[in-house]
Amino acid sequence: MTEAEATLAAIRAGQVDALVIQNAESERIYALKTFDELEQTQAALENAGVERRRTRAQLQALAEERERLFQDMHDGCIQSIYAVGLNLEACMGIMQANPKKAAEIVADATASLSLVIQELRSFITGHRLQIAKGEDLRSQIEKTVQAAGNQGMSFTVDIDESAMRALTSEQALHMLQIAREAISNATRHANARSGRVSLQTRRGVVCLEVSDDGRGFMVKKVNARGLGLHHIDARARKMGATAQVTSAPNQGTRIVVKLGRTR
């Protein structure tokens, strides 16, 4: 008797529990599995499902981390380097006429590059850059505005103390990066002469507003709202805020970020 015949005989005799599928009109067996084998198969399938879910979760986490790093690099280091470039371009035009002012711009650019190095080290080591609350937020926005001023664009800054105090350090960092992006967009693309940066508290809601008198654009026609506007929206959502962009041709641009959940 073969092993298969012996197994079949044991099943028919009730000696082995198994699932048998056979042709009702003949003795031919289409499938035969003992319950031990079925349990092993089920366990293997469940383990495979757990592994697939774990793999998907890992891939999702990696994708989110990649997006965060790209966003932080774009909003942090790249914007800082761009500001340094603006300062140095302005310096080229005044080196002979105003060497003292040119020296001040070079010194400021050197300090800014040192901050960029710190930011890059934070990416390498995995330690995220943070900003202290209060005057640091104001001073960082003023530095960004100064870089824009060196390119001929004048920004006024109106920052309320209570609004700064209402922000956590992480929220303050997000607000800074959003302001940087908005100022950068106005300087590079808007052909604007003046703009305004405002941080105020209105009925318990912290509002950041960056506006300019530039050429504006049709918001709905911007591809994916533009890379810079995409980052503004992503950062706003990350801290539980909303971002609204209002613009039209030859009517300037206004970006408003509202944060209602502050402490």
Interval 23-76: pLDDT, tens: 556 555 545 565 666 667 777 877 887 778 878 888 887 777 777 777 767 666
Record the pTM. 0.56
Using CA atoms, how far apart are residues 83 and 80, in angstroms rounded to an integer?
5
Q: What is residue 58's predicted lDDT score, i.e. its pLDDT?
A: 80
* Higher pLDDT pick, 84 / 135: 84
8 Å CB contact between 257 and 236: yes
pLDDT band at residue 206 using 50, 70 and 90 as cut-offs: very high
DSSP, residue by residue, 216-235: ---GGGSGGG-HHHHHHHHH
pLDDT at residue 163 is higher than 60 = yes
Residue 258 CB partners (closer than 8 Å, separation 6+)? 205, 206, 207, 241, 242, 244
Question: Which of 125-129, 225-229, 253-257 has the largest mean confidence?
Answer: 253-257
* Higher pLDDT pick, 246 / 117: 246
Least confidently predicted of 53-57, 134-138, 187-191: 134-138
8 Å CB contact between 224 and 159: no
**Mean pLDDT, rounded, for 124-134:** 60
**Mean pLDDT, rounded, for 106-132:** 67
8 Å CB contact between 138 and 164: yes
Tokens of 253: 């641009």
Domains and CATH numbers, the chain: 67-259 (3.30.565.10)
DSSP, residue by residue, 98-141: -HHHHHHHHHHHHHHHHHHHHHHHHHHHTPPP---STHHHHHHH
Question: Which of 21-30, 67-76, 211-220, 221-230 has the largest mean confidence?
Answer: 211-220
pLDDT at residue 259 is higher than 50 = yes
Looking up tokens 């340094």, which residue turns up? 84
Q: How far is CA 20 from CA 7, 26, 97, in A?
A: 11, 13, 97
Using CA atoms, how far apart are residues 48 and 43, in angstroms rounded to an integer?
8
Nearest of 195, 202, 223, 212 to residue 248 by alpha carbon? 212
Residue 122 CB partners (closer than 8 Å, separation 6+)? 128, 129
Q: What is the CA radius of gyration of the chain?
A: 31
Least confidently predicted of 25-34, 171-180, 208-217: 25-34
Question: Which of 45-49, 108-112, 150-154, 168-172 has the largest mean confidence?
Answer: 168-172
Q: What is residue 225's predicted lDDT score, i.e. its pLDDT?
A: 45
